[in-house]
């Protein structure tokens, strides 16, 4: 609901041409985006340990529709905005305001009782048994390591994905590609980020978090290598590279998220998840900023190779995780 109010603030700021209203409105709007990202965690509150990644993947699959449909509605909503006397660039925020407020109402009216409250009740009941309490204390020692590994997986995949993706449109423009071609490549990339989620979740539950995290690193390495060697005018190779980039990110996000859920208890889970997502956001911002510097100082190929090599750090991280188990 607050995200919707932020979107309304952006619309009013556009009408009044007031930048001082625009910035705080965007800040509030961004807070709504943060809750949207947390949905992948909320979907697992009542999932058992063998189905958590699948539950994560369900929310990710539905995210695909918004991620693909949203950019394609920019022009349409711009025309709608102009028809009611609002600047065209504020048009998408009209849709955002409606979507946020509707989602808030659905959650407020229908998500009762809160799944996290039920999960906490179940956990408290289980801990009444002495054996359960003893096992919980052992898990708590291992949880810290699991949280570190899960967070590291998601941070590394975010840095690599954002860095290469951010500079790909610039690289394509330098080689004469038009906006249509850029949109096509990024469209494949976004689809690969979200659409495979349902299958990814099942694989993470069946094959294990660590196995899929290693697969994420290998796929991101392939994405970096293909991006580095692809001729600037080769649409096919760029589509393949960016699709691999999205898929590797998908594997890393779902396996890392599942590890975080496995490694937390309900009393502190939401706080830990929020902290990890802040780190992911900061790592993405860092990757985007550094990518421009690397390309300016060297080349897109260098950036792609650096990203691919960085993704290999996932392998020693997960090996460290396995070696720590007694």
Give the start-end residues of each E strand in the chain.
Answer: none
pLDDT tens-digit series, residues 169-215: 999 988 888 878 888 898 899 889 988 988 999 999 999 999 999 99
Residue with tokens 């449909």: 69
How sure is the predictor about 161, in pLDDT bands with cuts at 50, 70 and 90? very high
pLDDT tens-digit series, residues 68-107: 777 778 888 999 999 999 999 899 999 999 999 999 999 9
> What are the angstrom distances between the C-alpha of 228 and each of 190, 199, 222, 304?
20, 28, 10, 5
What single-letter DSSP state applies at residue 90? Answer: G
Check: CB of residue 35 under 8 Å from CB of residue 3: yes
24-33, 140-149, 292-301 — which is least confidently predicted?
140-149
Read off the tokens for 55: 């539950």
For residue 224, which of 291, 317, 278 has the smallest C-alpha distance?
291
What single-letter DSSP state applies at residue 85? Answer: T
pLDDT tens-digit series, residues 234-256: 899 999 999 999 999 999 999 99
Other beta carbons within 10 Å of 98: 13
Check: CB of residue 296 under 8 Å from CB of residue 167: no
pTM of the model: 0.82
Residues contacting 180, CB < 8 A, separation 6+: none
Q: Quick one: pLDDT at residue 63?
A: 77
Other beta carbons within 10 Å of 292: 14
Q: Quick one: pLDDT at residue 192?
A: 93
For residue 117, which of 129, 109, 125 has the smallest C-alpha distance?
125
Q: What is the mean pLDDT of the chain?
A: 88
């Amino acid at each position: 609901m607050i995200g919707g109010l932020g979107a309304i603030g952006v619309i009013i700021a556009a009408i009044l041409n007031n930048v001082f209203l625009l910035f705080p409105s965007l800040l509030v709007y961004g807070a709504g985006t943060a809750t949207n990202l947390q949905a992948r965690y909320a979907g697992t509150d009542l999932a058992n340990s063998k189905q958590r990644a699948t539950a994560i993947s369900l929310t990710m699959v539905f995210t695909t529709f918004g991620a693909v449909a949203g950019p394609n509605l920019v022009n349409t909503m711009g025309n709608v905005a102009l028809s009611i006397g609002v600047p065209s660039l504020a048009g998408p925020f009209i849709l955002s305001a409606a979507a946020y407020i509707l989602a808030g109402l659905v959650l407020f009216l229908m998500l009762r009782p809160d799944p996290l409250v039920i999960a906490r009740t179940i956990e408290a009941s289980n801990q009444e048994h002495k054996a359960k309490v003893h096992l919980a204390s052992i898990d708590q020692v291992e949880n810290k390591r699991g949280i570190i590994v899960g967070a590291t997986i998601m941070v590394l995949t975010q840095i690599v994905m954002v860095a290469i993706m951010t500079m790909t449109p610039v690289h394509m423009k330098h080689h004469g590609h038009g906006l249509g071609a850029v949109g096509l490549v990024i469209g494949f990339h976004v689809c690969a980020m979200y659409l495979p989620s349902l299958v990814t979740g099942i694989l993470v539950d069946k094959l294990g978090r660590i196995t899929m995290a290693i697969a994420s690193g290998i796929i991101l390495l392939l994405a970096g290598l293909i991006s580095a060697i692809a001729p600037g005018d080769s649409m096919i190779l760029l589509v393949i590279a960016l699709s691999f980039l999205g898929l590797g990110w998908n594997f890393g996000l779902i396996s890392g998220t599942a590890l975080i859920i496995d490694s937390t208890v309900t009393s502190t889970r939401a706080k830990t998840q929020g902290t990890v997502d802040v780190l992911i956001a900061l790592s993405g911002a860092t990757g985007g900023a550094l990518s421009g510097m690397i390309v300016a100082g060297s080349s897109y190929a260098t950036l792609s190779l650096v990203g691919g090599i960085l993704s290999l750090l996932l392998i020693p991280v997960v090996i460290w995780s396995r070696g720590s188990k007694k």
